[in-house]
Structure 1
């Protein structure tokens, strides 16, 4: 089949990794969240489920972008081999055609860390910082690289339950970022004296892994590991300590994450100090930000992040000749 100029392309994770740049993604996300968007442009994620099979969809239409679309992920947790695949489908506003399919496994890590860094850049003091990391997986690895692009890091201290993994994480951080890094034997030891604290690994038994009295005065917290009601990551004392809580998706964070549900059950009031990422980027909570001494960013992820970063990656992959043309042509209904 002959591929016409409007046939869609495929962008692999390898291509995405080659063209992705932290500073570009962070700037694009700050701009996207700084624009007013009606709720219908970024609706909540939806999950279809039947027995052990589930499908999650995250759609979004960014303001001013060429592309719009959705990320899809699904899995049968029954008899099928374990694993989850992610795909972002982008539609082109200028042609009304399907433009691209993007392997979204790495993109998901990129967009989550870039969004956290976009928020951190606005809420954390503009000075060199010691970073504590709880967790040593892909998300934690992405985040330290994103954070290093917006703040000078003087030291990275990491805790995760497996000594070999935290030592490998620290070695990679020093090698790739040129920042002194070390692993330690407990979360509390990692957090002690830290200016920025990243929690990127919810506990295995769904008990909190970060407590408010561990945090030094003025420390900024970034929590990304508890995204559904059944998950826990930060103790209610962290919620109580925080005087400004920025949420990438306000209602989902406040009403659908185990950490915030636990704080609500304990009688802790937090709605008056919780604002959306759009509020932060647009300046709607600038007065609260000026007063904040213990800010926190809490994330569940959102379709806007996926589509903004996917557009950036698609544009650069096309320019670099790294997008694979697909020998398919969708029929257009007119």
Structure 2
């Protein structure tokens, strides 16, 4: 924490994300490789007068070693001359942009706030989702489920919620956010209440957060990337529509009795957070051009 702390404003970031998805901005096909249980990807996008590039890895064994699950670097260049404008660690921006995209997806799916927010997981993505969603929406109650009791209780206290069992959370929550590195489904469709919204932001394969019952009940899912099924079993075996097409009105879903959004990451989201951070920093006259600053 610290490189962009206090810089990001969730409401304007969500608006920028929507503007980028609506516009004729471009992103290159993501290049990625796996090594053992780890994953490394390179993501490049352009729009609004900028180019962005993010090289990021997901390392499932890191949390047990006291290291971040996600590590990488985020770069922003001026489109006209290639001047490097931003060079910062990718962990915080990835957290912010993923949670902001989830907020946008929930809004487009028709969620207007209220009820119970349940978060499964107590790591970086869980914390950023709580930070963003609690600013974008109003909730009546916050529930946290985590395999590690102390971590889950600490996160719940931090946001005025309480730690509960995972299935109890599923039964009671109007919005369920799964932010884990579990290889076994943590969201079981048989326990979801009718009309529930599910946001799954776990890492790509071999992470698996949704069981087949969730997908059957949803009938269709919203995904952040057209290659979601290639990278996650959570997005396979069911009709999928990209958030970009959904925002533009170019595609629709035949929803069942639950709503699902699956995120695996897309370069336009990285472009959005890079532009957002740069423009807010430059407005204060504090542009950072090196991750060592």
Q: Distance in 2 between matches of 1:52 and 1:311?
A: 31
Q: Give yes or no for contact 2:209–2:234 (8 Å, CA) kept in 1.
A: yes
Q: Distance in 1 between matches of 2:32 and 2:281?
A: 30
Q: Distance in 1 between matches of 2:117 and 2:265?
A: 22
Whether 1:249 and 2:225 are equivalent positions in the alignment is yes
SS at match of 1:192: helix
Query: Among 116, 132, 149, which residue is 1:163 paired with?
Result: 149
Q: Give yes or no for contact 2:116–2:175 (8 Å, CA) kept in 1.
A: yes
Unaligned runs of 5+ in 2: 61-65
Whether 1:214 and 2:191 are equivalent positions in the alignment is yes
Please, which moves more after superposition, 132-141 or 315-324? 315-324
Q: Give yes or no for contact 2:85–2:288 (8 Å, CA) kept in 1.
A: no
What is aligned with 1:106? 92
Bigger-Rg structure (1/2) = 1
Query: Among 50, 63, 66, which residue is 2:49 paired with?
Result: 66
Q: Distance in 2 between matches of 1:53 and 1:158?
A: 27
Any idea what the Cα deviations from partners look like across 1:66-106, whole Å, max 9, x if unmatched? 211210135999xxx97764111211023332332122111
TM-score (ref. length: structure 2): 0.88
Whether 1:172 and 2:158 are equivalent positions in the alignment is yes
Whether 1:151 and 2:151 are equivalent positions in the alignment is no
Q: Distance in 2 between matches of 1:125 and 1:280?
A: 15
Relative contact order higher in (CA < 8 Å, ≥ 6 apart): 1
Q: Distance in 2 between matches of 1:310 and 1:73?
A: 14
Whether 1:44 and 2:48 are equivalent positions in the alignment is no
Query: Among 265, 276, 282, which residue is 1:301 paired with?
Result: 265
Gap change, CA 1:236 and 1:75, over 3 Å in 2? closer
Q: Give yes or no for contact 1:235–1:259 (8 Å, CA) kept in 2.
A: yes
RMSD: 2.6
What is aligned with 2:209? 233
Any idea what the Cα deviations from partners look like across 1:152-203, whole Å, max 9, x if unmatched? 11101110011111111111012xxxxxx1101x210111121111111132
Gap change, CA 1:195 and 1:16, over 3 Å in 2? same
SS at match of 2:129: helix
Query: Among 13, 16, 20, which residue is 1:25 paired with?
Result: 13
Q: Distance in 1 between matches of 2:39 and 2:142?
A: 37
Gap change, CA 1:136 and 1:55, over 3 Å in 2? closer
Query: Among 256, 259, 274, which residue is 2:234 paired with?
Result: 259
Q: Distance in 2 between matches of 1:99 and 1:115?
A: 23
Gap change, CA 1:52 and 1:295, over 3 Å in 2? closer
Gap change, CA 1:52 and 1:193, over 3 Å in 2? closer
Deviation at 1:311, TM superposition (A): 0.8
Deviation at 1:306, TM superposition (A): 0.8
Gap change, CA 1:284 and 1:231, over 3 Å in 2? same
Please, which moves more after superposition, 213-222 or 147-156? 147-156
- Matching of residues 178-217 of structure 1 within 5 Å: 181-184=161-164, 186-203=165-182, 206-217=183-194
SS at match of 2:140: strand
Q: Distance in 2 between matches of 1:31 and 1:76?
A: 32
Deviation at 1:112, TM superposition (A): 0.8
Gap change, CA 1:113 and 1:244, over 3 Å in 2? same
